Amino acid sequence: MLAEGQTANVVTNRVAILDKELPKTSSFRTEIFELCTMCGARFGIGYFGASREGSRMAEEIEELPRKLIEILAKDHWLHRKHKGLIDLDF
């Protein structure tokens, strides 16, 4: 669950947010969506805050879904629920 009214004026870490939690956020910039291959849960990958300067490197954009998929697979392996907000810059 996300904190109500979670916003930021500065750019923070890239995160993945469970699709059903996205309407509860403000100031979240979605860059890409990714599905859990095990259960079909959909996550928006992006960040809170103002637009980032410049464009993303292709490698960086490709890396984030891979990180998320690894985290989601581990959740299933350990029989735990997916978090609503997952930090991808750990």
Q: What is the pLDDT of residues 76-85, one digit of tens each?
A: 999 999 999 9
Specify the pLDDT at position 47: 87
What integer is the mean pLDDT of 32-49?
93
Q: Is the pLDDT of residue 60 over 70?
A: no
Confidence of residue 12 (pLDDT cuts 50, 70, 90): low
The domains of the chain are located at 15-87
3-state helix/strand/coil string of the chain: CCCCCCCCCCCCCCEEEEHHHHHHCCCEEEEEEEECCCCCCEEEEEEECCCCCCCCCHHHHHHHHHHHHHHHHHHHHCCCCCCCEEECCC
Return the percentage of the chain with pLDDT > 70, whole number.
72
